[in-house]
Structure formats: structure tokens, C-alpha cells
Structure 1
């Protein structure tokens, strides 16, 4: 199985992939994990990835452009799904983990700020997923939970 994790903070994910059962699974080739820095797909010298919501509202959202360019850079397999880690998503549990294990490729988008531009969701995302009823600073923790399950 192949996992692609799109994040603004690869440093939060990478150490987790080196240890324990997950690290051994990667080293033995049972799974593969690619961590993609969304900032690598941002425009300009400052690699800006956030903007004010176009429809109004408070805070900042992750821009569609960098996320969609990152998604297009992936080698997408036929039996794949794209998941956005989000507080509005379906609650992640073990039966859902077993269902996701049927895919050959899972792409996890780690949200930040007040969320992502709605266009990313409507044009690219197959499922929004939440790991519970609490507030986190971003989707990286949720991505690690999904990966470890």
C-alpha cells in the first residue's frame, strides 16, 4: 500500500516513519510513504500557502493552487482515494480503517489554519476524516493516526 501525505510541516511526520512497527513496515516494503511539502508547490519567493477566505469569514485558509499542484504531481494509482483530515469529517474508527486498507493508495491532506479552500474539497477530495471531537492545530496528528491504524 502507498501513502502520500501532503503537509506544510513534513518535520512533524518524518520522525514518526523511522521507528516501531511502521518504520519496519516501510523498511521491509510492506508499505511506502511519501511526505510532500505543499510549500514546494507554492508561488513566489515566500512560498505562501494561505489566504483569506474568498466568501468572507475569519482567519486564513490553505490556498487551492499549491494543494492541487501537489496532488497533480503524484503518481495516482487506479484504486486510490484522497482524504482531507478535517474536524468536519467522518469520525475515524477501526471499521473505517479496515475499509481504507482495501485501497492501493491513500493520499492524506493535512489541513491547517481555518481549513482549506472549498474548491480543493469539491474538486479533489473523496472523504473528509476526523480523528475525534477535539481541536488540533493541524491534520498531521490525524494523518499519523490513520497511517498507524
Structure 2
């Protein structure tokens, strides 16, 4: 039988409805926390770190929300925030990788636990050279594969 006489198989029928296919983002928002933080510190650091990304990168923020009664709510990130943990050296390594790839990033240092306002927070970071920062948290955003390389060796937060 020649190829000219063959017919291609008919496509399989597609379901008319069902759950939408999961969205796979080509970017990633990730937070890396030092593994020796108290629970309250982990939550606080994560909140502070991601606020930096949302304020400087409008593309990561979705549309405002509204409930069925028309009550408006603030917009949130358009994609999940993945939270990782690692030891102090992992933070230092990830920070260097994020810098070398010029990825948007936010940092939180141990000194910030002793301050109580934005002015003092910035002064505490400004007072320490980059290689001397006592990092307890890092947030990064960028292409999925670049963020994966920055976080290589970190584990998902439990």
C-alpha cells in the first residue's frame, strides 16, 4: 500500500468541559528562608520580602478581586510564591547567584528584627557591606530556569 492511499487517523474527541489545564508560568517568584528562623520570623520575613517584588515589578501583580456582592479587594500576585529553606551558606550562595544573573531581588537581614520602621531597616542594610550581610531571607523573580539555578541546593519549605 502506498503512502498516497493511507489516511491519517481521526483526532481523538476532546472533552467539551472539565477543569482547565493547569497554567505553567515561564517565570517564578521564590523566597528562600534561613532554616533556623522561628515560625513568626519566617512569616514576617516572607511578607516583607514579597512586598518588595510586588512594588517594583507590576507584571507580577494580577487584577483586583471582587466578591459576588461587589465588595472590592486588593490584587495579589498572579502566580504562586514558592518558599524554600536552607542554611546560612545556602543564603549566601543564592544571593551571589541572584546578583550574578541580575535578577530582581529583595533581602532581609537579621539586623532588621531589631528595627521598627522602614527608615531604620534601610539604614541597617546600608551599614553593612554586601559580603557581610547576615541574610535570613531572599526573594527572587525571573525566568523559571534562572530562579531554579539561583535556588539549586535549597529545599522546599516544610
Higher CA-based Rg: 2
The answer to whether TM tops 0.5 is no
TM-score by length of 2: 0.28
TM-score by length of 1: 0.29
Structure of greater relative contact order (alpha carbons < 8 Å, 6+ residues apart): 2
